[in-house]
């Protein structure tokens, strides 16, 4: 067996091999954001702190601010509902006994629930697709099969009963050491590289749901594979810019492929949005500082694609990387449609994009830039949504993300900075909270950023955020709007660099140094208006081991909640409960990741419970919470250091001595709704 290089510096908990293939060692490299823009909360609070200094000291003592703790997690499961001393009633839709934390090589679901794999890496999507053959995989076969490492998933009903659906899935990245026996990272073959191109992208698959919720995949004219070579149209204000032109595309409007598609969203008009995240790792660097700001640093790259297609070598095609890092829109109803890359939403490591309709019909999209010390963005369209599902209304709505104004978030805390000491201990007002504003970056051809043209703002959006003093956050991941209240929820995954020498320390929205476990932010637009340019915010959860004093579960009794680390994707059920999937890489004592549910209102607010856990080495992604079925993507099972196709650490889902296969899993109950 060939051992992978061990990286002493990789993110705690996360396997070095995950860092290498998923994020291009994003955590191993120094953070790309070296800008000196200050935290605005600091600027404001320093002034108030001067006035209130003496009172502050007293308040700190009184509240017993805690030291940062890194205690072992509580392994005991919370008690069952409504039994013995625990007479609390579960929130509506969350009546299940939480799954115990574990390290099993299995998907574990609550008692009384059933589970099945819906589709696995390599399963055919078309009648002519060959059956999966691990030892003889070809690019031609892969292009007709389900891709690797499913992340985001959407389940779109095609009929009023919800029985016929389209499952749309992202395929974030390839893990070549797990896909090919004897893989030689220094000398990949052309076939291996082309398999990887075909294993990236998205899949569209018809799935039929039975009365219980069970999902069955079908061949259908809607079925489709999008790969790293599928043509895309660049649209919006930067399309056609010189910054986007290449030898193969002198128009700057047509790109081959999408890469590192992480989370996404479903638009109100039924299309799917998908965020191109860690695109940096696929391009051989030249050292241009604008590349460096996006983390493009490697030459050669890990996968060596630049040897097989010169567009991945920035010395030959300096603008090719500018054509990735966008929000992609796909119309799954039209298998012949050309997917779009939306330049109006800016270019960064998009985790996702989620759209809501404002009161006047304009649409608003939120998106996080998932890297340590990066920013949260919002886009407001110029045009208004057209109601109805006529062909002309859909066509119009699919242009809404072409024109509008792009903003970045600046947060201010309301507690004195001395109380935000990096420990995670609550300040004296009992909440990590405050206000914020959306700072405009560009609108159409108009730039609001000194020294940058609008085209530059769209293509080098991170630099624009630096210049206007955006707030550096702890890895903004998924962002979703609550379907009933309009409150926006953002998962901030973790940031072990916070507080390190030379890096920004704790701020009220990011209150822990060496933040291994992340937090969940609630953001309320002023007056509940999605178009507002200011907001209030608070942290609903500060994640980790509930037994540790640096955690917070909305004030709920922490002895009754499940441990959770590194919140990643968020979703809502029909009752308005928040569901959170985690991607900790074992940061909580090596425990497997999972899917959790938590009420956001009422007496049970903060009562977080594990609904399922995924196999060893896997992350939980793309939760879809239906009335009768919950689906999750199980990404990179068995991806732990020292493991490979020659030495698999997981045999999920097929068991025996099989290779692990990233898959979509459905969970349901016979004759009962989820959580009821």
Looking at the Cβ atoms of 172 and 306, the one nearer to ligand FEO is 172
Q: Which of residues 464-483 bind ligand FEO (CB under 6 A)?
A: 477
Minimum CB separation from Ca ion for residue 288, in Å? 41
Residues 6 or more apart whose Cβ sits within 8 Å of residue 335: 204, 221, 222, 223, 224
Minimum CB separation from ligand FEO for residue 2, in Å? 26
Given ligand FEO, Ca ion, none, residue 431, with its beta carbon under 5 to 8 Å by kind, binds: Ca ion
Q: Which of residues 379-418 bind Ca ion (CB under 5 A)?
A: 414-415
Given ligand FEO, Ca ion, none, residue 370, with its beta carbon under 5 to 8 Å by kind, binds: ligand FEO
In this structure, what DSSP letter does residue 49 have? H
Please give the angle made by the CA atoms of 390, 265 and 328, to the nearest 5 degrees: 85
Looking at the Cβ atoms of 105 and 172, the one nearer to ligand FEO is 172
Looking at the Cβ atoms of 370 and 456, the one nearer to ligand FEO is 370
Q: Which of residues 272-291 bind ligand FEO (CB under 6 A)?
A: 277
Minimum CB separation from ligand FEO for residue 370, in Å? 4
Task: Answer yes or no whether residue 52 interacts with Ca ion by CB under 5 A.
Answer: no
With b for 16 or more beta-carbon neighbours within 10 A and e for fewer, the 160-190 pattern comes to eebebbbbbbbbbbbbbbbbbeebeeeebee
Per-residue binding string, ligand FEO, 120-159, x by CB under 6 A, is: ----------------------------------------
Minimum CB separation from ligand FEO for residue 440, in Å? 25
Cβ neighbours of 642 (radius 10 Å): 13
CA dist., res. 121 & res. 438, Å (int) = 40
Looking at the Cβ atoms of 21 and 668, the one nearer to ligand FEO is 21
Residues 6 or more apart whose Cβ sits within 8 Å of residue 461: 346, 347, 348, 377, 406, 441
Given ligand FEO, Ca ion, none, residue 330, with its beta carbon under 5 to 8 Å by kind, binds: none
Given ligand FEO, Ca ion, none, residue 261, with its beta carbon under 5 to 8 Å by kind, binds: none
User: What are phi and psi for residue 321, nearest 5 degrees?
Assistant: -65, -25
Given Ca ion, ligand FEO, none, residue 415, with its beta carbon under 5 to 8 Å by kind, binds: Ca ion
Looking at the Cβ atoms of 291 and 433, the one nearer to Ca ion is 433
Minimum CB separation from ligand FEO for residue 50, in Å? 39
Per-residue binding string, ligand FEO, 206-245, x by CB under 6 A, is: ----------------------------------------
Alpha helices in 286-400 (DSSP H): 289-292, 391-397
Looking at the Cβ atoms of 123 and 369, the one nearer to ligand FEO is 369
Element (H, E) at 20: helix 16-22
Contact between 444 and 465 under an 8 Å Cβ cutoff? The reply is no
Minimum CB separation from ligand FEO for residue 666, in Å? 22
CA dist., res. 522 & res. 535, Å (int) = 10
First to last CA, the chain: 49
In this structure, what DSSP letter does residue 134 have? G
3-class secondary-structure state, position 154: strand
CA dist., res. 662 & res. 78, Å (int) = 29
Given Ca ion, ligand FEO, none, residue 545, with its beta carbon under 5 to 8 Å by kind, binds: none
Minimum CB separation from ligand FEO for residue 367, in Å? 11
Contact between 322 and 244 under an 8 Å Cβ cutoff? The reply is yes
3-state helix, strand, coil in the chain (%, to 5): 15, 30, 55
Minimum CB separation from ligand FEO for residue 477, in Å? 5
Selected from 45, 81, 172, 550, the binder of ligand FEO by CB under 6 A is: 172
Minimum CB separation from ligand FEO for residue 277, in Å? 5
Per-residue CA distances from 574 to 558, 626, 627, 629, 675 (Å): 26, 7, 7, 12, 11
Q: Which of residues 362-381 bind ligand FEO (CB under 6 A)?
A: 370
Looking at the Cβ atoms of 370 and 604, the one nearer to ligand FEO is 370
CA dist., res. 366 & res. 164, Å (int) = 29
Q: How many CA atoms lie within 13 A of 351 on its CB side?
A: 28
Selected from 202, 262, 357, 645, the binder of ligand FEO by CB under 6 A is: 262
Minimum CB separation from Ca ion for residue 64, in Å? 16
Alpha helices in 454-587 (DSSP H): 454-459, 461-467
Minimum CB separation from ligand FEO for residue 568, in Å? 6
Given ligand FEO, Ca ion, none, residue 512, with its beta carbon under 5 to 8 Å by kind, binds: none
CA dist., res. 663 & res. 151, Å (int) = 9
Looking at the Cβ atoms of 45 and 351, the one nearer to ligand FEO is 351
Binding-site ranges for ligand FEO (CB under 6 A): 172, 262, 277, 351, 370, 477, 568
Binding-site ranges for Ca ion (CB under 5 A): 414-415, 427, 429, 431, 433
């Amino acid at each position: 067996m060939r051992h992978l290089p061990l990286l002493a510096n990789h993110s705690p908990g996360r396997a070095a091999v995950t860092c290498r293939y998923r994020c291009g060692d994003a955590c191993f490299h120094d953070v790309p954001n070296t800008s000196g823009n200050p935290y605005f909360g600091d600027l404001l609070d320093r002034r108030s702190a001067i006035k209130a200094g003496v009172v502050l000291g007293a308040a700190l003592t009184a509240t017993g601010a805690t030291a940062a703790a890194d205690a072992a997690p509580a392994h005991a499961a919370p008690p069952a509902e409504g039994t013995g001393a625990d007479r609390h009633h579960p929130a509506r839709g969350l009546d299940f006994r939480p799954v115990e934390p574990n390290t099993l090589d299995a998907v574990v679901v609550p008692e009384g629930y059933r589970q099945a794999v819906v589709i696995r890496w390599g399963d055919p999507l078309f009648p002519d697709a060959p059956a999966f053959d691990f030892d003889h995989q070809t690019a031609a076969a892969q292009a007709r099969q389900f891709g690797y490492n499913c992340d985001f998933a959407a389940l779109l009903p095609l009929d009023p009963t919800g029985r016929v659906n389209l499952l749309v899935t992202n395929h974030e990245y390839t893990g070549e050491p797990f896909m090919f026996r004897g893989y030689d990272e220094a000398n990949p073959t052309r076939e291996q590289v082309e398999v990887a191109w075909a294993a990236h992208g998205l899949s569209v698959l018809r799935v039929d749901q039975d009365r219980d919720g069970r999902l069955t995949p079908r061949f259908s004219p809607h079925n489709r594979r999008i790969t790293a070579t599928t043509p895309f149209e660049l649209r919006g204000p930067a399309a056609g810019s010189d910054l986007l032109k290449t030898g193969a595309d002198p128009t700057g409007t047509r790109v081959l492929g999408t890469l590192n598609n992480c989370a996404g969203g479903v638009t109100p008009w039924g299309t799917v949005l998908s965020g191109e995240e860690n695109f940096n790792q696929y391009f051989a660097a030249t050292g241009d500082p604008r590349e460096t700001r996006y983390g493009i640093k490697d030459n050669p790259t890990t996968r060596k694609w630049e040897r097989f297609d010169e567009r991945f070598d920035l010395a030959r095609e300096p603008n090719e990387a500018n054509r990735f890092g966008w929000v992609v829109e796909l119309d799954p109803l039209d298998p012949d449609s050309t997917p779009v890359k939306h330049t109006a939403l800016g270019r960064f490591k998009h985790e996702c994009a989620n759209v809501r309709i404002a009161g006047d019909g304009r649409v608003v999209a939120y998106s996080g830039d998932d890297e340590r010390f990066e920013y949260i963005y919002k886009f407001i369209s110029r045009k208004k949504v057209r109601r109805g599902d006529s062909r002309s209304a859909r066509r119009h709505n699919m242009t809404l993300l072409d024109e509008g104004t792009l903003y970045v978030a600046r947060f201010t805390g309301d507690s004195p900075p001395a109380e935000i000491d990096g420990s995670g201990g609550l300040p004296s007002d009992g909440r990590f909270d405050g206000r914020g504003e959306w700072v405009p970056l560009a609108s159409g051809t108009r730039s609001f950023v000194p020294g940058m043209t609008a085209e530059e703002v769209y293509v080098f959006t991170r630099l624009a955020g630096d210049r206007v003093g955006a707030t550096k956050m702890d890895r903004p991941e998924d962002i979703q709007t609550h379907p009933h209240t309009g409150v926006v929820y953002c998962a901030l995954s973790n940031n072990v660099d916070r507080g390190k020498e030379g890096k920004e320390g704790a701020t009220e929205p990011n209150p822990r140094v060496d933040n291994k476990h992340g937090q969940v932010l609630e953001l309320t637009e002023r007056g509940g208006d999605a178009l507002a340019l200011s907001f209030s915010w608070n942290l609903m959860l500060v994640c980790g081991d509930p037994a540790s004093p640096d955690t917070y579960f909305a004030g709920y009794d922490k002895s009754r909640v499940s441990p959770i680390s590194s919140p990643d994707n968020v979703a809502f059920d029909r009752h308005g409960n928040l569901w959170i999937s985690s991607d900790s890489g074992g940061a909580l004592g090596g425990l497997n990741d999972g899917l959790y549910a938590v009420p956001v209102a009422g007496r049970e607010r903060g009562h977080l419970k594990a609904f399922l856990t995924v196999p060893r080495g896997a992350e939980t992604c793309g939760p879809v919470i239906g009335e009768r079925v919950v689906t999750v993507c199980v990404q990179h099972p068995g991806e732990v250091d020292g493991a490979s196709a020659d030495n698999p650490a997981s045999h999920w889902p097929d068991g025996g001595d099989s290779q692990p296969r990233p898959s979509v899993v459905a969970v349901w109950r016979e004759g009962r709704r989820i959580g009821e």
